[in-house]
Amino acid sequence: MLFRGDLLFNWRNGKGLSQSESAREVNITQEYWHALERGKRVPSIKLLQVISEVTGLKKSILLGETKGKQHV
């Protein structure tokens, strides 16, 4: 499964948030957020849902299943 961690990075920077602040929003550690952004980890389905709700990014886009622009 391809997880687009770069989209999390772009979202976070667009909002002016730190990794710690972003991680708190989805109830994970800063280290785990960092690993997601770098593509070193793939979130569970449950966490993917939370990330999608918090960021407003569609799950299909985060999973690289849909091409096109994501809305931030």
Give dist(CA 1, CA 56) in Å, integer: 20
pLDDT value, residue 2: 86
- Residue 21 resides in a domain: yes
**Residue, of 72 and 25, whose pLDDT is higher:** 25
**How many structural domains does the chain have?**
1
Whole-prediction pTM: 0.85
From residue 59, alpha-carbon distances to 22, 24, 26 in Å are 17, 19, 14
Task: Give the model confidence (pLDDT) of 6-54 as tens digits.
Answer: 999 999 999 999 999 999 999 999 999 999 999 999 999 999 999 999 9
Answer yes or no: is 56 within a domain. Answer: yes
Question: Which CATH number is 29's domain given?
Answer: 1.10.260.40
Its domain, for residue 47, covers 5-62
pLDDT (tens digit, 9 = 90+) per residue, 21-34?
A: 999 999 999 999 99
